[in-house]
Amino acid sequence: MTIDYRLTLATEAPPESVAARAFPDPSERPRPTTQPNVLSEEYWDRCAFDVTVRSGRDGYVEAEDGAGQACTWEPRAYVNLTFRLDKFDLDRALESLLPVVQRVLATGTEDAAFVHLSDYLLLTRFDGVVTKHRRAQWWDHYGWVDELLPG
């Protein structure tokens, strides 16, 4: 079983460019798939997750913020980094995943949303302002995350 996280960036950049920011070592980058504008890689042994990097147009993100309000965002052009984490090795997966998210956010200024389980908004960056959406159940359980993610 897996648990999903998705980082969406509002950008015209190709997925290869975002993947290079996420995984600076060329030997570790996700590889092209048979689908256009889609890269993918499995890091199960080393990081307990896999990732798909996909670009598209007319995006749609809907998730509940920390106050229980539904938030929607429709980036015109976007790149999604979708992570599937090993449910039975979740701490190790998050310890590997969050530095990837941090690198992507630190190396660009585009609007972004970080979503857990396709339903819960954890972090947004709009117009350069980072907001951590306080889902106490998640942020309190993974308190060390505050130090890794901006905001």
pLDDT of residue 137: 66
Using alpha carbons only, give the angle 70, 22, 92 rounded to the nearest 5 degrees: 75
pLDDT of residue 141: 63
Residue 146: phi, psi to the nearest 5? -50, -35
pTM over 0.95: no
pLDDT of residue 121: 87
Between CA 124 and CA 106 the distance in angstroms is 13
CATH topology of domain 2-148: Alpha-Beta Plaits (3.30.70)
pLDDT of residue 82: 97
* CA 2 vs CA 24, 128, 141: distances in Å: 25, 31, 18
Which secondary structure element, helix H or strand E, spans residue 83, and what is its range?
A: strand 77-86
Q: What is the pLDDT along the chain (151 residues), one digit of tens a residue?
A: 789 999 999 999 999 999 999 999 999 999 999 999 999 999 999 999 999 999 999 999 999 887 788 899 999 999 999 999 998 998 899 889 999 999 999 999 999 999 988 888 888 999 999 887 766 566 666 665 656 566 6
pLDDT of residue 59: 96
Structure tokens that stand for 80 in this block: 């999604």
| Per-residue DSSP letter, 95 | H
pLDDT of residue 108: 96
Between CA 120 and CA 141 the distance in angstroms is 15
